[in-house]
Amino acid sequence: MTSQNRFGPPERKDPSGQILAFHFGPQCLQAGAGQFDEDCLYLNIYTPRVANITHQHYPVFLWIHGGGFVGGSGNLETEGILNNLVSRDLIVVGINYRLGPFGFFSTRDSTIPGNVGLLDQIEAINWVKRYISYFGGDPNSITIGGESAGAMSVSLLTLSPVSQHLFKQALLESGSGFSAGYFSSSELPSDASKSAAIYLQCITAEQWDRHDPALMSQMVQCLRSKKATDILNAHKLGRFLPVVDGPGGVIPQRLEVLAQHRPPIPILTGNNQAEYLFWLFEDGLLHSSDYVNRFTRQSSTSDLAHRPELQYYNNSQLVLPAIQRAYIDSINLTDQDHIGWCNENIQLYTEMVFMGPTYRDAMLFRQTKSRVYLYSFDYLAPGALPTLTAQLRGVPHGWQKQYAFGYPGTADGGWKLTDDDRSTEDYFGQFWANFVKYGNPTPTPSTIVWPQLGSKGEYIILGPKPTPSSGFHPKALFFACTVPAIE
């Protein structure tokens, strides 16, 4: 990948010679410290250690990382992956894909259609189908999975006519293509691209709006001549995200239309109990009583009106008052109950961005006869997040990864592991591996039966003692059903 390939689709790369893979390749360009490069389309393959590996036919779990489409990589926690997943007789593949403006710059026309980050993911799946048999993998038994933006990507890949035939099943942790703030059929994503091109002095606003082919072609050449670091700095000007890229593209139509034509495949999907909590404690905000004390009915109303997610609804002038009525006006709390209002905000944005879209996606999968296994991860170890007041303790975004990938007790400073932590880690490994191998997280015989999602909202509560239940987060139905009807 060079600057002349910038914004273009990935090129097929076939193996040649022997590679001594003693260290990870560079990550795709992103803000922060690390080994980054524009030439970043690497994948990492973790296999069981057996003789005659090429004679095996292990199922494959291809992991697409999260990071808001601006960060992350396929460099996985090696020891944990080997111990909790690969040891259960499967192959794990972690992939990189272009991020920010490098992966999602779009003019919303044929100049730069966008979605090359998704094309990177698709080419990685194609590479695995072509060559995973040399690593002992079964090219006809590929499960794609991801977390956060990775799960949103997985959702989009199940919707895309370009990719939906390339894998057998899908696992989505805390993300959906329908997530508010991360996908829009409107012009919002191209606004960031327009701002970036103007900032880099490759076009004027008036020229962009004219969409003259000659001027747009000159703009592309100008952008390709820029230093990668200059392009990277433009990520501050807006959000570069997947888009509807039209006929022949990765996402040729609105997601609701594409969802009607998805093939029936096994799906495992779910959320953590308090996803939005992550953004509050990660920034240290909840450690300040002054910050918590700002939460009132009035502050909740004001914050909602300025949420960027609202811009991604096609009928936001109707959606906003509906959310206001459901999540603020109907709440019986005094303005002095600051912790209560803080919790209400955590629930609102957890359900707006994560749970509602997850449940909507799950129901759409059911409509095309997919078997859907839904979960809610509700376990927070007693020693975790010790600085949080008891009333604000919950399971934040990303928390499940340490259990699934075999490194529990390390997040947010870590804590002393308990037997419940070990049991939770083992259940995640069992369920995830069983799903990859059999398309069912709990094949018979099993002491725990994970129910398929049906008309009663059946799901399982994950933790040290997994518990089948029904009525998946009922208030999230507002964002799964009511808001789409308003749109």
Residues 306-323 have pLDDT tens digits of 998 888 888 889 999 999
Whole-angstrom Cα distance, residue 62 to residue 145? 6
pLDDT at 310: 87
The single residue listed with the structure tokens 């080997």 is 82
DSSP class of residue 451 equals P
**What residues have CB less than 8 Å from 424, skipping those under 6 apart?**
379, 403, 408, 462, 463, 464
CATH dotted code for 3-186+242-261: 3.40.50.1820
Q: Which CATH number applies to 267-486?
A: 3.40.50.1820
What is d(CA 394, CA 375) in angstroms, rounded to the nearest whole number?
16
Burial of 437 (0-12, 13-18, 19+ CB in 10 A): middle
Active-site pick, 133, 141, 148, 153: 148
d(CA 218, CA 139): 42
Main-chain phi, psi angles of 69, to 5 degrees: 65, 15
**Is residue 148 annotated as a catalytic residue, yes or no?**
yes
CA distance 208 to 363: 40
Calculate ∠ Cα 353-358-363, nearest 5°: 140
Please report the beta strands in 292-399, taking only residues with DSSP state E, as ranges in sequence order.
Answer: 372-377
35 neighbors 117 (Cβ within 8 angstroms): no
**Is pLDDT above 80 for 187?**
no
| Extents of the domains making up the chain | 3-186+242-261, 267-486
What's the burial of 370, exposed, middle or buried (CB within 10 Å: 0-12/13-18/19+)? buried
Note the pLDDT of residue 56: 86
Q: Do domains 3-186+242-261 and 267-486 have the same CATH topology?
A: yes
For residues 129-141, average pLDDT:
96
**pLDDT of 189 above 70:** no
Residue 118 near residue 28, CB atoms below 8 Å: no
Decide if pLDDT at 65 tops 60: yes
| pLDDT at 181 exceeding the cut of 80 | no
